[in-house]
Amino acid sequence: MKDKNPLLPGWSLSDISNENEPSNEPADKVDVVTAPSSNQSQSMPWKAANTSLGKLASGSVNKGEYFHKAGRSYTRARGGSRAAASSSASARASSAKIGGFLSSIGSRGINQTLRDIGLSHVVGQDVERVMAAILDFIAPNTATREDSIVRESVCDTLEHLYEKYDLNDGDITNLDRMSVPDIKEAFENAISSYIYNRWLTELGIAIERKSISPNEAVSLEQEMKTYVYDSVKIDLQEIDILNFNWHSDLGEQFIDQKFKEAYELIEGEDE
């Protein structure tokens, strides 16, 4: 159901929606709070989260007003921002890789970065092969639902870079033009994309249950994605992003805090 741009290359066509039927099964197997499947009784928080997204799908509410309510219901069904962030282990690990990868491009350039991360064999190869190798490095497998969500989110981030820096012209070194604000934006987008993909995967069944056309479903998903991206404006001013050690204890704490902040922004405040 995801609206991938057919003009993008094959490496970008990773899709978490490769199962026959959508599911609101939770992404992580270790979550304390779980979203029951459609044939199970739902806890009140998950029922409210499903209802909120379902009303958006039905078109029975003001979307601008109700996206906030839907986001709050979903985050609270996950136990609040702290619990939602702490259950995103794979996403936090991939975010450290993304942060380090982007920071290295900003300070050392893309080709040296590829050598540093063990991808020297793709230096000088076509852009599609390079981007596919980067995707596999950051999100290497899809053994679980959570892994699939993470890979889709990394793919979204790389697609953004592919389009923004005109990589379809075949020159991967266009990425060397990334400024510090560009790097921060890309990192922020990676977190936003994960939250959106996880939300959609866990509660997308609320969309499927409504009698709306595939085009209407895609439109709603795009509005939902825009809402998440516009909401998640996390503060990255406190670090020197080009020299930050993303894989240190401090880096781990920083990423944990940023995920918590992102979910807080989706959850919002009580009205």
Calpha distance 239→254 (Å, rounded): 9
**Which amino acid does the sequence have at 115?**
R
Calpha distance 268→16 (Å, rounded): 27
Residue 180: Cβ within 10 Å count: 13
Share of the chain above pLDDT 90, in %: 39
Instruction: For residue 125, give the DSSP letter.
Output: S
**Which amino acid does the sequence have at 268?**
G
R_g over Cα of the chain: 19
Please name the residues in contact with 180: beta carbons below 8 A apart, sequence gap of 6 or more: 106, 241, 242
Give the number of C-alpha atoms closer than 13 A to the C-alpha of residue 24, restricted to the C-beta side: 28
Lowest mean pLDDT among 61-65, 128-132, 142-146, 217-221: 61-65
Give the number of C-alpha atoms closer than 13 A to the C-alpha of residue 187, restricted to the C-beta side: 33
Q: How confident is the model at residue 37 (pLDDT cuts 50, 70, 90)?
A: very low
DSSP-H helix ranges across the chain: 44-58, 63-77, 81-86, 89-108, 110-116, 127-138, 145-164, 180-203, 205-208, 214-231, 249-267
Instruction: For residue 10, give the DSSP letter.
Output: G
Tell me the average pLDDT across 85-109.
91
Report pTM: 0.76
pLDDT at 44 over 50: yes
Nearest to 246 by CA among 85, 99, 137: 99
Please name the residues in contact with 205: beta carbons below 8 A apart, sequence gap of 6 or more: 22, 23, 24, 38, 50
pLDDT at 54: 67
Where b means 16+ CB within 10 Å and e means fewer, 59-94 reads eeeeeeebbbbbbbbbbbbbbbbebbbbbbebbbbb
Calpha distance 99→184 (Å, rounded): 9
Mean pLDDT, the chain, whole residue set: 78
Tell me the average pLDDT across 157-161.
93
SS3 190: helix
